[in-house]
A and B are shown apart, each in its own frame.
Chain A
């Protein structure tokens, strides 16, 4: 069941369009992440759902009811703020009880729900403390409890973990996920941290320049990006700028008839070897195409005898640098006029030292192509 419909909302601040015709539909019980760089409009989208901002156009529906102009306190959603926004002169218990008090929940039930929520976030022992006496992680738990206590239909989280250190952040991510599953709360979670989004989300919406670029399950957006921005935002990749140098002549009829057997487009690369690409839609000779290969999918042969027959291309290169990065080793390989990055697990390190010659390539499925406007070519 779809609980939240965001229908083509647009919001500008003084001529700058923060949110540009964003549409979303969120299923009940789902954890949806809005992922994007800072300033991309994801927080404004969230604040519009909460009711703190009025969209210039578009509609927001919760459970089918139009709430676009409804005041925040009359919407059945609750927000966890980036800086937590705990009430400074109320105890932890009073903070959590606040929402219930505002909803006129009677004392006995209120006390019971506060106690339950506090134990859900493991803060029952700190109920009498003032927010000032709590650590960042504890404040985060109280903020979460305060919002959960009112049993919102949708819980909105605005980068709730960005003020915590990495270790605590990772622990809290798992905890939020388990609380979400335990309480079956629908959550819309804003973050700029792709690891966080991948850890938490059932679905991810990638936001750039006020627009939703792609929506889908984490694995899908990572392996099947529709857009060059998504490819570059979701982790490191190698972009190779190529030029279309040959397109096999064929009629449209022939194209549809010869399934899979179509002659490839040939792309000139910054290194000696051209990349034979599969048939890509409407390309002209001389057009610029960007090929992207993830570091973990770059193939490297360290001996001349290695089989490279199945590779899409095989170019000569040299190991330029080797960086140890914890459990992984990053190699920078000079290939023609460009540098490709590859990563190997420490137990799968390359049998090559800095300065050694290697052969660099990749499997045909490892490459994704984008046109000059950043659109995915298929």
Chain B
């Protein structure tokens, strides 16, 4: 009996000491995530008021009621989810191709492709979006090129609309997606493609059957990055979109700064966070299921 107690005590002591190792990150999380999030939750549950940001110390669900009953705000949430889904799909497609190109390239070309991603990643978002304007505006390089080549007579409107918002957002998320996918791709041996070809797979078949399944963990990470970032998108729809591209980020910013309605802003922020969390969880579980079922 005494032996058991002694070993239990020893085990506790050991656990305590190990817990110390995690302490810094727990404290950091508490300070920068849990406390502000709790504060946000508290504000979302206060009474709304026209005199000031919110009524301190009050309890109410008026903020949530307001957000869910205001068509412009609900539309904003729906638009944002659609926008984020579209951007994520495009981002995954582009990033998979780009990452595959890096993986297959050798020597200087591989370095060049990688540097391209890193430079884009390290460029400030605003600078990147101005580059998008320079490239895609009606008098920009791309429009000049396609008009000059005679494919279209008039310049295409590629910015200041939803296309522009999507392009801008892609410029922001694609570099991260590429690196997430490439990091997984680089761990497989290129000879598996030759092996697949050798066993009767065509070029595309070899990639689809051997490479893509292996990149799934990378695709998940890339998808999460693209989706969560796009749900929170602000700069791209604001600078290269139009007023119709009112994402939740822009709506919340308006609630905070123009309406000075912190209760509604906090409630909307929490709603979006909850929706994203549910969406990602469902996707993750669904992907896990299809992956596990691939057996002879």
Chain A residues with CB under 8 Å of chain B are 50-52, 71-73, 77-79, 81, 83, 85-91, 93-94, 97-99, 102-103, 111, 114, 146-147, 150
Contacts and interface: CB of A to CB of B under 8 A. Distances in A.
B296 A111 contact: yes
Contact of A78 (B199, B205, B209, B295): B199
Given A50-B198, A78-B199, A150-B200, 5 more contacts: A72-B197, A81-B191, A87-B192, A91-B296, A98-B201
Contacts of B198: 50-52, 72-73, 77-79, 147
Interface in B193-221: 194-202, 205-206, 209-210, 213-214
B135 to A, nearest CB: 36
B213 A98 contact: no
Interface residues of B, number: 22
Given A83-B191, A85-B192, A102-B205, A93 B200 contact: no
Contacts of B213: 89-90
A107 to B, nearest CB: 9
Nearest to B215: A89
A132 to B, nearest CB: 11
Contacts of B197: 52, 71-73
Interface of B: 188-189, 191-192, 194-202, 205-206, 209-210, 213-214, 294-296
Nearest to A156: B198
A339 B202 CA distance: 58
A87 to B, nearest CB: 5
A94 B295 contact: yes
Given A78-B199, A102-B199, A87 B210 contact: yes
B189 A146 contact: no
B194 A85 contact: yes
A93 B195 contact: no
Given A79-B198, A94-B295, A88 B205 contact: no
B227 to A, nearest CB: 24
B189 A103 contact: no
Contacts of A73: 197-202, 206
A91 B295 contact: yes
B191 A85 contact: yes
A52 B188 CA distance: 19
Nearest to B201: A102
